[in-house]
Every structure is written in C-alpha cells, then in structure tokens.
Amino acid sequence: MLIVSKCLAGVPCRYDGKDNLVPEIKAIVERGEAVAVCPEVLGGLPTPRVPSEIQPDGRVLSKQGEDVTAQFVSGAARAMTLCRAHGCTGAILKARSPSCGKGVVYDGSFTGKRVPGSGVFVKMLLDAGIPVMTEEEYLVTACGKNETVLETERLILRPWKEADAGECFFYAKDPRVGPICGWPAHTSVEHTRQVIRDVLAAPETYAIVLRETGLPIGSIGLHRNDLAQKDDEAELGYWLGVPFWGRGIAPEAARALLRRAFEDLRLARVWCGYYDGNEQSKRVQEKLGFRYQWTTDGAPVPQMGETRKAHVSLLTKADWAAARDSGEGRQ
Ligand code: SF4
C-alpha cells in the first residue's frame, strides 16, 4: 500500500481550491493500492486557504504572516497515523509543497525561489524510514512516462537513450549549436553520454528523431527552472543539428510538445527565451505564437561562464488554444 497526496488523486484540496490531478496516481487510488491524504486539510486548514511556505528558521508562515506551524505538524502527524494504519510502505507526494515536497521546497519568500529541503509530512515519513518519491519521479521511474513518444509528420519525439551518444555528439560537437543556447560544444562521445545521463534524461525531454532515418538530430524539452516558477509552468528549450536548420523542424517538434504541455500536462504557461543575436530561435518562438515579455541585460550563462542579453517570451494556454483553433498553429 502507498500513501499519496490527495491533490494528485484529483481532489481539489490545494490552497487555491484546485487539484494537481495525475491520472496515473488517481488510478492507483481507485484500484485500492494507495490511500490519499492531504496533511494540510487534516491539520484543520480550510480550502481554499492562504498559501504557506517553510521559513529559514523552520516555522511555516502563511503569506499573510500567520504562523501555521502547529496546523502543519498536527496534520502531518494525522497523516502519519493513517499511513501506519494502512501499512503504507512508500509515498508519492506533490513536489515542492511545504507539506508534501521532497528534496526541494519554496524558500519562504513567496517569490517562487526554491531551496533544498522537504515538507513537514515528508520529513516525518523519511524519519520513519518510509521512502518518498515526488509525482515527477514516479512518472519517470515507476510509471514509464519517460517512454512517452510524440509523433509528427516528419518526426518522432522520444526519450534520449545512452545509445544515442554517438549521433548526439555528431551534432552537439559543432560550436554553432550549443553556445548560442548557453552550453559549450561537446568534446567527446563520453561527454555527450554524460550529458544524456545528467541533463537529457530529465522528464519531458525528448530526442528529436527524423522519421525517415530513425536517428536523433536534436533535442527539445519542457524544463522546470528559473523562468518557470509555478507548478503549472515550464520553459521550452530546443536545439537542432546544423544540417536541419531552416527546414521548419523546430516549430514542428515544438507544436507537438506544446500540445502535450497544455493538454496532457495541463500547464497554463510555457516560457521560452533566446540570447541576443539568436535570430533563428526568435523566429521559431514567433511562429509558435509566443509573445515577447522582457529583456534582461547581463543574464548569467553559467555553463559558458559569462553574461548575455536575454529575451524572454511567453505562450499562455489561452493564446495557444486560440492559435490552434484559428489554424495558425498548424503552419
Ligand atoms: Fe496536495 Fe499535500 Fe498540499 Fe494537500 S498538503 S494540497 S495533498 S500538496
């Protein structure tokens, strides 16, 4: 038996009265293989409620400054009682929540910044020796979601495999590819293999495979990072091998992934960006319907050890749906 966050099972118990439905997790609850709990509701907090975050001193404060530590602790204790009563041997809990988050939580400033740490309930579970995974880890490792394949007329988007290292290196060693995106050209097949393990194996990151050859020619993904500060946001990133530039491949791949973002993953906003001078990437974003938001001078580019001028654009679900319905997104 598992214990899972109730909001992941589709119950609207989030602070804003919404849910975080993951159909695969709802299904294991319905099969009787998991019990769903909401520690914050068990602690007596109402729904909707003012959002709360763990402070650097360990207290939990609401955004209005109310100390809700006692409710968080008593709710987590009640959830632990249910966990023991049902003989739960593992947990799947909502990432980054001040109760249910594992490994990373918001930093207490209500600005979307994240810091290492775990939610109140997760700490109790881990202290009791009960392993915890986030829903994101579950979807990748246990649920086989990393086997998601998206298809378009010319392309197949599928997870990267270490066996792709040779093909990937062929394109990623070209200094015209990585540096304009903010990462250095790959130096060896082993370097590429390490990048596949450490970076490209992330959830919702796909090899762009040319249907006619069956070989990868680039990469595309939805990433959780500084631009995507909320759970219903992601940042779109992509690169292509030079021989495939100017053939409409990046927009074709991105349209498939944006459909997944807004329909399957139920995201509300997808961010995108490009460094000054990367006119190709700018054109791709415009074709996809992204709207320019702002420019930052001196944006850090950590992998290159420098700063650059960076332009940021945004595609909302409403804009995406309007473009789709008008047929603009199909070109
Ligand atoms: Fe979901 Fe946990 Fe927050 Fe409840 S406390 S809404 S179960 S993340």
* Per-residue pLDDT, 101: 94
State the Cα–Cα distance between residues 94 and 36, nearest whole angstrom: 12
Ligand 1 pocket residue status of 71, Cβ below 6 Å: no
> Atom 1 of ligand 1 has which residue's CA nearest to it?
7
Ligand 1 site, residue 40, Cβ cutoff 6 A? yes
CA 36–ligand 1 middle distance (angstroms): 10
Q: Tell me the CA–centroid distance for residue 199 and ligand 1, in Å.
A: 28
Whether the CB of 258 sits within 6 Å of ligand 1:
no
pLDDT value of position 330: 41
Taking the centre of ligand 1 as the mean of its atom positions, its distance from the CA of residue 134, in whole angstroms, is 12
Using CA atoms, how far apart are residues 64 and 164, in angstroms rounded to an integer? 50
Q: Is it true that domain 148-330 has CATH number 3.30.360.10?
A: no
The whole-angstrom distance between residue 15's C-alpha and the CA centroid of its chain comes to: 20
Residue 38 Cβ < 6 Å to ligand 1: yes
- Output the CA 69–ligand 1 centroid distance in Å: 15
Residues of the chain below pLDDT 70: 140-147, 326-331
Half-sphere exposure of 230 (CA within 13 A, CB side): 10
Predicted TM-score (pTM) of this structure: 0.61
40 Cα nearest atom in ligand 1: 5
The answer to whether the beta carbons of residues 290 and 281 sit under 8 Å apart is no
Question: 49 CB under 6 A from ligand 1?
Answer: no
* Atom 4 of ligand 1, residue of closest alpha carbon: 38
Ligand 1 mean position, distance from CA 97 (Å): 7
Tell me the pLDDT tens digit for each residue of 237-273: 999 999 999 999 999 999 999 999 998 888 999 999 9
Strand pairing partners for 271?
Answer: 235, 314
Distance from Cα 237 to the centre of ligand 1, integer Å: 29
Q: Is the CB of 97 under 6 A from ligand 1?
A: yes
Atom 6 (ligand 1) nearest CA: 14
Q: Encode the chain in three state secondary structure.
A: CEEEEHHHHCCCCCCCCCCCCCHHHHHHHHCCCEEEECHHHHCCCCCCCCCEEECCCCCEEECCCCECHHHHHHHHHHHHHHHHHCCCCEEEECCECCCCCCCEEECCCCCCCEEECCCHHHHHHHHCCCCEEEHHHHHHHHCCHHHCCEECCCEEEECCCHHHHHHHHHHHCCCCCHHHHCCCCCCCHHHHHHHHHHHHCCCCEEEEEECCCCEEEEEEEEECCCCCCCCCEEEEEEEECHHHCCCCHHHHHHHHHHHHHHHHCCCCEEEEEEECCCHHHHHHHHHHCCEEEEEEEEEEEHHHCEEEEEEEEEEEHHHHHHHHHHCHHHC
Cα 50 from Cα 261, distance rounded (Å): 27
Counting ligand 1 atoms within 8 A of each CB, the residue from 7, 132, 136 with the most, and so the one to mutate, is: 7
* Domain locations in the chain as residue ranges: 2-142, 148-330
Beta pairing, strands 60-62 & 114-116: unpaired
pLDDT at 229: 75
Identify the pLDDT of residue 116.
82
Residues whose CB is less than 8 angstroms from the CB of residue 252 and which lie 6 or more positions away in sequence, other chains included: 152, 153, 154, 155
